[in-house]
Chain A
């Protein structure tokens, strides 16, 4: 009895704490309970990192100046110990960070908070021919031949540019393109070459570099081509040859200059991470909190670097998934392989998507089982056999990816997280269960695992819930309390009602 009371009190305290914190954050601090659709706010973080040399180091980073369609509502430059100089040119601002002496890996941050401000694209600047590349033979002939072909396949300036890009991206490339591509090893150089080629035909062209505002890490600033059709600048995507300014494109810099450079450090890297942040409400709250009482926000998840925030968006959902599994196992009574394997599968589904993930999992396990049954005949020892199954699983995965790629389905490629070791163990245990308890039992457990994984995946990726858990991580206290309470749930499991149905017939008498 005392233990029961103790548990109830503890759970009550946890629920009360969690609920109070959520109430406070929602009502007093004004954090939004649901992800808002209209008021998107992006936090763009550009992070330069490099190994400094002994002498003075200097970092140049171009940052947005004109941002048609967007407004930068807040900016931060984080570079401890560095002197900062800002310059401007026509299309961007240039940050110049310098330090006389630096040691250890250096991390410099530029962070901008961006909100949408209507729809607009970049139209400033007068039409002007790009600088013609000085081409030697045989490049000149190739260029002329290519341009002539393109002319025949196009109607106006915009379609000329698109046709040129299309031919440039064609696979396999024509001989001319293959030759010209040697001059342009990277996307920026290619953009510059294309603008130069257009100058041969007296078409004004320029390069703009922009960042697509899609949440995630490892975003890239990509060049786009703009050609002037005597009325306005037309934007053409260099990869797809699509015409028009992408709605979510943030103009980063104009011109063909690389967005960043560290003197004498060719291997320095720029990483751009974008967080699609919650809503205006959250930002306002953040700003207000900074003015009133900074501590609270400083110790919240929002103070973490963006990459870490992204990680926590996933991590915080794991307890939710585990809780679902707890319900399925202890209240419903589904049997699974391993305790937490379904959750690991659910996390793997994040990469593959549900449908493709289910198919892939089933195919891999099925194929793995066949291999395992075959190996049974070879009489291998347990650990070498497990290793062999693991190797075969990896080979099968690679084959699966290649095959799905050839079929034009891009799902198989994002499987880095698929828990292979767990899969190998599953195959092993399933084959044992198959032999010892019969196929029905093995398949039932496998299907149970998959069903739980699917449900857990659907819940763990439900956007309103992801938002809620990230903004109000206190909800985990409530989940903890519920988990502990179920820990003392001693009622029947749903499947037991079925299992013992013979005893529940009305005529079943009492002993």
Chain B
């Protein structure tokens, strides 16, 4: 017999953070509304990051008006690969990854060709706000296309694996890496079928993976082990994530990073309402860690001290 109260009390014991509590006690409390544009508009995020010396993918062009779409073909002629993103898109919606050209047509990351007309249609939709929250008119960013580190070659099916770190009051509290699968069609969203792999904060070693709701140890497409991997540049990744607190002014933020083959860690986007699946990937709740930090008498510390604290306390087993 499934007893909801029993399940609830078990989840409570491991400190699982639910949506209501995330919103009521963390997002509403620590994320001032006025700072939301800093993360909701990727253009502002990028500008702030550059000013703060945090590495981000290089910006090639910004599209604000319908007519600029047609001019884009010439503007981008110099670049072989690039990514088009709606500035207010969420959860990877509306992102278009171009890996090359064939005559007049673009080749998408999936290998499919896309005519100029289709390309313009997609951009025009995005500009009209199809992918933005609330359907407001949007602008688009065209930026450097990340070439992922060889490290991930064996544990990823197409697409770019990204690293999500939850940063609370500047302390990195939990991390995971999201590995695209054949099922997720190269996308790195867990609910689309990507794998979430929990990362031990102190060491940067992957500990356990979750695909859908089942724990796994090997990548289903490449058969390669996904646990026990040591994420390269882990110190830099933590340092970048921790500094995003000063950057945004948001107390509870999800930092999405990628590892580029040439440029190392780059910040892809920030999220003021990061999802909760990271807890499944880590097999642990966020709540105990968040409360540990809330209980600190002197929690305003420089980034290095915060990282040191996190590495001391937040183990994933």
Residue interface mask B276-287, A partner, CB < 8 A = 1? 100110111100
B25 near A437 with CB under 8 A, answer no
B128: interface (CB < 8 Å): yes
Docked Cα-Cα span, A437 to B191, in Å, equals 8
Q: Known contacts A383-B128, A488-B24; is A503 also within 8 Å of B18 by CB?
A: no
B192 at interface by CB-CB < 8 Å: yes
| A330 contacts B by Cβ under 8 Å | yes
Residue pair B18, A490 in contact (C-beta under 8 Å): yes
Please, which residues of chain B bring their CB within 8 A of the CB of A330? Answer: 20
Residue contact B25 to A490, C-beta cutoff 8 Å = yes
Complex formed: what's the CA distance from A381 to B125 in Å? 6
Q: Which of B191, B282, B288 contacts A441 (CB 8 A)?
A: B191
Cα(A504)–Cα(B108), bound, Å? 41
A502/B215 in contact, CB under 8 A? yes
Contact with A along B184-200 (1 / 0, CB 8 A): 00000001100000000
User: Once the chains bind, are A511 and B128 in contact (CB under 8 Å)?
Assistant: no
Q: Which of B9-17, B35-43, B48-56, B144-152 contacts A (4 or more CB under 8 A)?
A: B9-17
One of A234-242, A294-302, A461-469, A491-499 at the interface: A491-499
Given A379-B121, A493-B19, A503-B283, CB of A437 within 8 Å of CB of B14: no
| Residue B214 is within 8 A (CB to CB) of chain A in the complex | yes
Whether B280 lies near A382 (C-beta < 8 A) is no
Contact B124 A381 (CB under 8 A): yes
Question: What residues on A are CB-neighbors of B7 within 8 Å?
Answer: 497, 501, 504
User: Are the CB atoms of A501 and B213 closer together than 8 Å?
Assistant: yes
The yes or no answer to B181 lying at the interface (CB within 8 A) is: no
Contact (Cβ within 8 A) B10 A506: yes
Complex contact A490–B24 (CB within 8 A): yes
**List of A residues within 8 angstroms of B128 by Cβ:** 381-383
Interface hub of B125, B282, B315 (most chain A Cβ within 10 A) = B125
**For residue B233, which residues in chain A have a CB less than 8 angstroms away from its CB?**
none
Task: Tell me the A296-350 residues at the B interface (CB within 8 Å).
Answer: 330, 333
Are B20 and A503 within 8 A (Cβ)? no
A502 touches B214 (CB 8 A): yes
Chain B residues whose C-beta falls within 8 Å of the C-beta of A432 in the assembled complex: 93, 130-131
Give which listed residue, A382, A441, A492, A500, contacts B129 with CB less than 8 A.
A382
Q: How far is the CA of A499 from the CA of B191 in the complex (A)?
A: 11
Q: A436-B93, A511-B315 are in contact. Are A496 and B18 (CB under 8 A)?
A: yes
> In the complex, which residues of chain B have a beta carbon less than 8 angstroms from the beta carbon of A379?
117-118, 121
The chain B residue with its CB closest to the CB of A497 is B7
A24 within 8 A of partner (CB)? no
Q: Which residue of A lies closest to B137 (CB)?
A: A382
Asked if A510 contacts B191 (CB within 8 A), the reply is no
In the assembled complex, B317 has its CB within 8 A of some CB on chain A: yes
A491 to B280: give the CA distance in the assembly, Å.
Answer: 18
A438 interface residue per 8 A CB criterion: yes
Please pick, from A333, A487, A492, the residue contacting B11 in the complex, using a CB distance under 8 A: A492
Select the residue from A436, A497, A503 with max chain B CB neighbours within 10 A: A503
User: Which size class do A's interface residues fall under?
Assistant: 20 to 34
Q: Does A508 contact B (CB under 8 A)?
A: yes
Cβ-based interface call for A23 (8 A): no
A 429-452 binary contact with B (CB < 8 Å = 1; else 0): 000100011100100000000000
CA distance A382 to B117 in the complex (A): 15
CB distance from A44 to the nearest CB of B (A): 48
Contact B24 A489 (CB under 8 A): yes
Report whether B20 and A489 are in contact in the complex, using a CB–CB cutoff of 8 Å. yes
Q: Any chain A CB within 8 A of the CB of B165?
A: no
Q: Could you tell me the distance in whole angstroms from the C-beta of A439 to the nearest C-beta in chain B?
A: 12
A492's closest neighbor in chain B, by CB? B18
Contacts of B130 in A (CB 8 A): 382, 432
B295 within 8 A of A: no
Instruction: Determine if B98 is an interface residue (Cβ-Cβ < 8 Å).
Output: no
Does A231 interact with chain B (Cβ within 8 Å)?
no
Q: Give the distance in Å from the alpha carbon of A459 to the alpha carbon of B11 in the complex.
A: 33
- Residues of chain A contacted by B10 (CB below 8 angstroms): 503-504, 506, 508
Asked if residues A508 and B14 are in contact (CB atoms below 8 Å), the reply is yes
Q: Known: A432-B130, A497-B11. Is A508-B283 also a contact (CB below 8 A)?
A: yes
Q: Which residue of B lies closest to A429 (CB)?
A: B135
Q: Is A293 an interface residue (CB 8 A)?
A: no
8 tightest Cβ-Cβ pairs between the two chains A and B: A511-B284, A382-B128, A490-B21, A379-B121, A492-B18, A504-B10, A490-B24, A497-B7
Give 30 pairs: A residue, B residue, CB < 8 Å, sorted on A.
A379-B117, A379-B121, A381-B124, A382-B124, A382-B130, A383-B128, A437-B191, A437-B192, A441-B191, A489-B24, A490-B21, A490-B25, A491-B8, A492-B18, A492-B20, A493-B20, A494-B4, A497-B8, A501-B213, A502-B214, A503-B10, A503-B11, A503-B16, A504-B14, A509-B283, A511-B14, A511-B283, A511-B284, A511-B288, A511-B317
* Additional A-B contacts beyond A493-B18, A503-B280, A508-B10 (16; CB < 8 A): A330-B20, A333-B19, A379-B118, A381-B125, A382-B125, A382-B128, A432-B130, A493-B19, A500-B11, A500-B279, A502-B210, A508-B283, A511-B14, A511-B15, A511-B314, A511-B317
